[in-house]
Amino acid sequence: MRIQDDIKLDFDDVLIKPKRSTLVSRKKANLERTFKFKHSHHRWTGIPIIASNMDHTGTIAMAHVLMEFPMLTALCKFVESTEWGWNNNIIRTIGLDQNLDELTDDSMWICLDVANGYTERFNDYVALMRRHAATKDRIIIAGNVCTPEATEQILLAGADIVKIGIGPGSVCTTRKMTGVGYPQLSATMECGDAAHGLGGHIITDGGCTVVGDIAKSFGGGADFVMLGGMLAGHKECEGEIEDDKMIFYGMSSTEAQIKHHGGKKSHRASEGKAVMIDYRGNVADTVQEILGGLRSSCTYAGAKSIKDLPKCTTFVKVNRQLNTVFN
């Protein structure tokens, strides 16, 4: 047993220090980025925020709205494949049980999503995807992990982008059920640094509860930010509305296991929970709020664009939880 005693940070542990800005108006802050990916060599330009591939947020209706901004949607892997093939802001999600020969759609992006990206089987599968005719030329996202060594390994196996986050999700109970996890801002900073050194990219996935957390993710070196809870509860989530509330559940919650696998397997614990959240109407209104907040973050930090945020960001550690400060 070993204790690593340098302190790791979550979003609530820091604030971004304000700095002199040359921007004349926050409208001028550029939220778009252009990336060229390590293995596929594809280029993509857009606002690098992604709706999570959960039942509730990874819907076709969500993708239709977000592509207008233009932002990305990782469709839930249970969305019917016949509904595919209409633009390059679709990310298709697969699991380790996917037969790659059956991937005949033309989506440019593919996301191999597993709860634990530390297995040899997962790493071998990423390498297989980079060799396989159906996937070798696509932008491959793979995750989740939360440490720089694993990030490097997955990039070297063939992924263009590594998804970072073990345990921070709003409806995730992994930290409670298993004791495993890593504070998400430190994971972002450490994995981003490792990925960028190899010409790869990262997605920070999970734990953003307010716009400031998204700004801190970009400031900490995230290339993309994936959102579940912040985009939940909208019309586009296609859930039932009861008493002005919608159910939002984790993808390994008992609810999801019953819906997609006919019940909870006896050897598995549930590592997700279900919560009732307020219905919030059109997601476009929430997205406008998010983008407005991010423009303001850039202006305060003295950054002309979110691309410049990491070099303009100085984090100051705070000595009490922001929740306490806000309430």
Residues binding ligand 5GP (CB under 6 A): 52, 54, 115, 144, 165, 169-172, 174, 205-208, 226-230, 250-253, 271-272
What minimum distance in Å lies between the beta carbon of 226 and ligand 5GP?
Answer: 5
Question: Can you read off the two tokens belonging to residue 167?
Answer: 């345990």
Element (H, E) at 235: none
Closer residue to ligand 5GP, CB minimum distance, 207 or 310 = 207
Alpha carbon distance 248, 303 (integer Å): 35
Q: Choosing from 76, 111, 146, 172, which is the catalytic residue?
A: 172
With CB atoms as reference, the residue minimizing the distance to ligand 5GP is 272
What minimum distance in Å lies between the beta carbon of 251 and ligand 5GP?
Answer: 4
Closer residue to ligand 5GP, CB minimum distance, 207 or 302 = 207
| DSSP reduced 3-state for 39 | coil
Nearest to 225 by CA among 255, 252, 257, 187: 187
**By the 8 A CB rule, do 240 and 247 touch?**
yes
Closer residue to ligand 5GP, CB minimum distance, 76 or 312 = 76
Closer residue to ligand 5GP, CB minimum distance, 98 or 217 = 217
What minimum distance in Å lies between the beta carbon of 317 and ligand 5GP?
Answer: 22
Query: Is 237 one of the annotated active-site residues of the chain?
Result: no
Alpha carbon distance 144, 162 (integer Å): 7
Alpha carbon distance 307, 288 (integer Å): 19
What minimum distance in Å lies between the beta carbon of 208 and ligand 5GP?
Answer: 6
Q: What is the DSSP string of 15-30?
A: EEPP-----S-GGG-B
**By the 8 A CB rule, do 197 and 20 touch?**
no
β-strand pairing of 201-205 with 224-227: parallel
β-strand pairing of 49-51 with 72-74: parallel
Q: How far is CA 18 from CA 214, 298, 299, 314, in A?
A: 16, 10, 9, 8
Closer residue to ligand 5GP, CB minimum distance, 158 or 165 = 165
Backbone angles phi, psi at 145, to 5 degrees: -135, 180
Instruction: Produce one character per residue of 92-125: b if its CB has 16 or more CB atoms within 10 Å, e if not.
Output: bbbeeebebeebeeebbbbbbbbeebbeeebbeb
Alpha carbon distance 101, 94 (integer Å): 13
What minimum distance in Å lies between the beta carbon of 168 and ligand 5GP?
Answer: 6
Closer residue to ligand 5GP, CB minimum distance, 126 or 227 = 227
What minimum distance in Å lies between the beta carbon of 205 and ligand 5GP?
Answer: 5
Annotated catalytic sites, by residue?
172
